[in-house]
Structure 1
Amino acid sequence: MFLITSIFSPLPPSLFIKTMCVVNVVTMANLGYSEIKGKHLKYSKFWNFNSDKSSNNKEIKLSAKTGMLFLYTPSFLAGLASFWLFPHEGFRFMLLTSALTVHFFKRIVEVLFIHKYSSGMVLDSAIVISLSYLISTAAMIYVQSEGLGEPTIDLKFLGMILFLLGISGNFYHHNLLSKMRRNGEKEYKIPTSGLFDKVVCPHYLFEILGFWGIFFIAQTLYAFCYAIGVTFYLMGRSYATRAWYLSKFEDFPKHVKSIFPYIF
């Protein structure tokens, strides 16, 4: 118990932030479970293949690129604004805001220059996801600005290593996915390079590592709850992705796991 409490900064006095910690875990765990049960947010391959097109005539649809930019840009701007709003909050705060800003900047760069698209996005899903990213990013920054005191065990440098590993591995595997499609191709293929021969979603695995790196940088309860929530959601998302590949490709290798090599 001492070891656990030693890695956290003191709890924030705000009841709202404490409540948001619980809401984050419960909401994202529920979203992950919904993915496993086949109830998906309306974007990417799941909407493109599994939606009932006849029932969606009244939904506002965005192009995938526009939708993805809508997801990430507000959080990126919030990260940039934090440097101006909280200019003297110390080294740990600077590391956290830098990590969050770089995370969403990378995503915007991938949307503009890396990703290749075969489907679109429904506006209501885009709004929900964008608000989730923005609120969580702003809350992590706000909690860090409260000056709660330093934890007994300092993990911020380990956090930097994990974050850089996560963001690099995520970018690498996104780039591999992009290179699978050439000359305007839009069909899905079974990825095989990198860690794709071990898990169907290595980009999710590295995204999880990145957010645990962000927790180690922040060492706040809110960042911890968000890392847990992201883990639950991406586990559900990767499980659904593996099930989708198994349903679409008869030759999909059965030994390839969802997200954790040899385990799940």
Structure 2
Amino acid sequence: MFQSFVFVEESSIITAITVITFLFLAYLGVSEIAGKHLQYSKFWNVNANSGSSSSNFLQGKMSSKLGMFILYAPACFMGFASFFMYPDGGTRFMLLQSAVTIHFFKRVLEVLFVHNYSGGMILGSVLLISSSYFMVAAAMICIQHLSLQYTEPEIDLKSIGVLIFLVGIIGNFYHHYLLSKLRGSKEKGYKIPQGGLFSMVICPHYLFEILGFVGISFISQTSFSFGCAVGVALYLSARSNVTRKWYLSKFENFPKNVKALVPFVF
């Protein structure tokens, strides 16, 4: 059944890359639950001094704006570069290139023109996330290019994938915009988010980001893209869960009916 809507890739290397990437993303999710957070946003200074002296360089701090730009710029560059590296690949390949590029280009634009920042970021987390995004973008595009030699899946999901991707990226942007309007230009403290789906879940931007990756996986229909979508969902589910716990600990009036990620469910 699975093979009817996924490219059958006869490559042990692609299989290994897929498994390693999935396990890495799943590990990040487990680490979040265990209290070892990637140090950005609300958790930017958690465990900042827990490393040994040999890791002091990676514990260096930078501004959130610079750190977030470094997070997304390399993957965005990879997306744009792919159009010159692989100019001819057919409709599915072009849609995949476009979706990956739009996803990261949107994030770069948000960093520069939408988000308001407080706190900072830890260099180690910046380098880890940035390199991960770059490798995922590069691998997704390269594996898609390699799949051109294989037979198309029996069930074509790319049209519904485009629709899901657009819902994801629009919903993600909208809730990022709402977050940016919570504070005034000189305010640094956190507030309980309002508007949109924030009345139902504390991380609707994560929910729509997951939908964006699901849409990309439907466009791509490679085992790697599906593995990435599931891995991202696991990580962001864990991240949203600890974010909800953080709000509960910081705000006595935080609504108990507001879930972490999925309305009424989780």
Shift, 1:252, TM fit: 0.5
Tell me what 2:200 maps to.
Answer: 198
Q: CA RMSD in A?
A: 1.5
Q: How does 1:32-181 map to 2 (within 5 A)?
A: 32-48=29-45, 50-51=46-47, 58=56, 59-146=59-146, 147=148, 148-181=150-183
Instruction: Say whether the 8 Å CA contact 1:8–1:220 is kept in structure 2.
Output: yes
Which residue number corresponds to residue 186 of structure 2? 184
Residue deviations 1:185-242, cap 9 Å, x none? Answer: 1100001210001000000000000000000000000000000000000000000100
Q: How many residues are aligned here?
A: 260
Deviations 1:130-174 (A, max 9, x none): 111111111110111111231100010100000000000000000
What are the Cα deviations for residues 70-93 of structure 1, in whole angstroms up to 9, with x where unaligned?
A: 110110111111101111111100
CA shift, 1:60, in A, is 1.7
TM-score (norm. length: structure 2): 0.94
Equivalent residue number for residue 6 of structure 1: 4
Give the secondary structure class of the aligned counterpart of 2:121. Answer: strand
Q: Provide the rounded CA distance (Å) in 1 between the counterparts of 2:122 and 2:232.
A: 22
Give the drift of 1:37: 1.8
Stretches of structure 2 lacking an aligned partner (at least 5 in a row): none
Moved over 2 A (4+): 50-59
> Is the contact made by 1:17 and 1:139 (CA closer than 8 Å) also made in structure 2?
no
Quick one: percent identity of the two aligned structures? 54
Q: Secondary structure at the match of 1:145?
A: helix
Q: CA 1:47–1:163 in 2, change beyond 3 Å: closer, same or farther?
A: same
Counterpart of 2:237? 235
Aligned residue in 2 for 1:218: 220
Q: Deviations over 1:31-76 (max 9, x none)?
A: 111111211011111124x345597994221110111111101101
Inter-partner Cα distance in structure 2 for 1:42 and 1:12: 38
1:183, CA displacement in angstroms? 3.3
Aligned partner of residue 24 in structure 2, secondary structure: helix
Shift of 1:176: 0.1
* Letter of the structure 2 residue corresponding to residue 9 of structure 1: F
Q: 1-side partners of 2:70 and 2:195: how far apart?
A: 30
Query: How far apart, CA to CA, are the structure 2 residues paired with 1:19 and 1:225?
Result: 11
